[in-house]
Amino acid sequence: MYAQVMEGLQVKANGCYLDGTFGRGGHARGVLQQLGPGGRLLLMDKDPEAITHAGQMFAGDTRVAIHRGSFADLARWQQTAAGLDGILLDLGVSSPQLDVAERGFSFGKDGPLDMRMDPDSGQSAAQWLASADEGEIADVLWTYGEERMSRRIARAIVARRQEQALTRTAQLAELIASVVPRGKKHDINPATRSFQGIRIHINRELADLEAGLDAALARLKPGGRLAVISFHSLEDRIVKRFISSHAKAPPGNRRLPEDTSFVPALKAIGGAQRAEPEETASNPRARSAVLRVAEKLEVVA
User: Binding site: what residues are annotated?
Assistant: 25-27, 45, 71, 90, 97
User: Binding site for S-adenosyl-L-methionine: what residues are annotated?
Assistant: 25-27, 45, 71, 90, 97
Contact 44, 67 (CB under 8 A): yes
Contact 290, 236 (CB under 8 A): yes
The alpha carbon of residue 183 and the mean position of all alpha carbons in its chain are separated, in whole angstroms, by 28
Among candidates 280, 288, 300, 283, which has minimal Cα distance to 222? 300
CA–CA distance, 155 with 278 (Å, rounded to integer): 43
Rounded to a whole number, what is the largest CA-CA distance in the chain? 65
Contact 34, 13 (CB under 8 A): yes
